[in-house]
Structures are given as structure tokens and as C-alpha cells.
Amino acid sequence: MRTNDAERRRQEIAEAEYNGVCVIYAPNKLYENAYKYYNIPQLGAKMDGSYTKVYKFDKHEDLTDIEKRFLGLMGKVEKRYGLDENLFSIADIGYDFVAHDGVVLKHSEHQTAGVYDSVDNKIYLDSFNLHLDGMQDKSDFYIVMSTAYTVCHELAHCLLGTNDMTKTHDNAMKQIMDTYANCFE
């Protein structure tokens, strides 16, 4: 296998695992043939389109005081970057892996800290993963910095249209992190 093929394969495996797919390695040809016989999808062309990841957002309507305070702080971020008001929303985030025939292969709750929904132009932040409970007596700075990674990660998707696990996304996050604190001057 050439170096660029091996790197592409490593990238495919990393992306599949990032998306929650269990990657099974075939140690030899016998296993590979058995996997094919039982229609276990393979990475690469055979995997494309075999499932989709469908997010579900259960928005919090009755926000706690700390969630209201957090969203107020995110309002400063919206203004700084010229984004729509109320771009940020706190929700319980879940997702389903759905096969092409509509069968749900896997359901997960609270496995994703945040999601940028480009259709609704909203950034949903998972209530469980924000860990805002117990921060009522913390400073605004503490709240902002403890959630900075997730917020900047989703801002990279929103502002620059980047894809996870790419060098472009990493660079965009670094650029946003460098200016993020300026939102709160």
C-alpha cells in the first residue's frame, strides 16, 4: 500500500470512529470474506451512503438562571462576529445512525458537545456536556473559558464552513480561539 493510500485509509478509519462506527479489522482473507458474506460494510466506496447521521435537538424552553447567563454571554460572541441573534441554543443533543433503508443502526444521547445546524443556522450546545450546573457562583470569565473549546469548535463550522478532523478546521479553531476572549472586553 502506498503512503498516500495508507494515510487515506487512516483518515477513513479515524472519521468512522469519530462518528461512532465500530471498526472491525479483518486479520486475514477468511475474516474479510466472512464480513462480505454477512454484508458488513467496508470502509471506502462501499461505506459511502450506507448510513446517515441524523441529529435530534430537544431544546430547553425553561432555562435555568445559569443557562440564561451563559446565553447572555454568547450574545456578545454573536455581536463580535456579526452573527444572527440567538444563534446559540441549549438542547439535549442525540443522534441516530440510520441505514439507507431507514433502519436505526445506533442511537446515542449526550455524545456530542455541540452541533452547528447549517439549515437552521443554529449552534446547539448539549446541556449535559456544558457542565453549567454548579457554576452559579463562578465568574463570567470562568464560564466562558470552561466552554471555549466547544463554542470555538462550532464557530469554526459556522463562520468558515470547515469539516471536522481537517487541518483547515484545526487552523480555523486556533484563529477563533485567538480572538474569542476579545468578545468579552
Number of structural domains, the chain? Answer: 2
The pLDDT score that the predictor gives to residue 1 is 55
Asked, for residue 127, whether it belongs to a domain, the answer is: yes
pLDDT in single tens digits along all 185 residues of the chain: 566 777 777 777 777 777 767 788 888 888 888 888 887 777 654 455 567 889 999 988 899 999 999 999 999 999 999 999 999 999 999 999 887 778 887 888 988 999 999 999 999 999 999 999 889 899 999 999 999 999 999 999 999 999 988 899 999 999 999 999 899 98
Domain match, 30 and 64 both? no
For residues 80 and 30, state if they share a domain: no
Q: Are residues 29 and 66 in the same domain?
A: no
Q: What is the pLDDT of residue 12?
A: 77
- The position carrying cell 479489522 is 25
pLDDT at 171: 95
Q: In this predicted structure, what is the pLDDT of residue 68? A: 95
**Helix, strand or coil, per DSSP, at residue 65:** helix
pTM of the complete model? 0.77
What is the rounded CA–CA span in Å between residue 34 and residue 30? 6
Domain-located, residue 49: no
On whether the CB atoms of residues 60 and 67 are closer than 8 A, the answer is yes
**Domain assignment of residue 48, yes or no:** no
Query: In terms of domains, do 91 and 121 share one?
Result: yes
Same domain? For 66 and 105 the reply is yes
59 to each of 7, 22, 94, 124, how far by Cα in Å? 39, 29, 11, 8
154/88 Cα distance (integer angstroms): 10
Are 66 and 136 spatial neighbours (Cβ–Cβ below 8 Å)?
Answer: yes
Q: Is residue 163 domain-resident? A: yes
pLDDT of residue 24: 83
Residues 66 and 19 in one domain: no
By residue range, what is the domain housing residue 129?
Answer: 55-184
Query: Residue 148: which CATH number?
Result: 3.30.2010
Domain membership of residue 42 (yes or no) is no
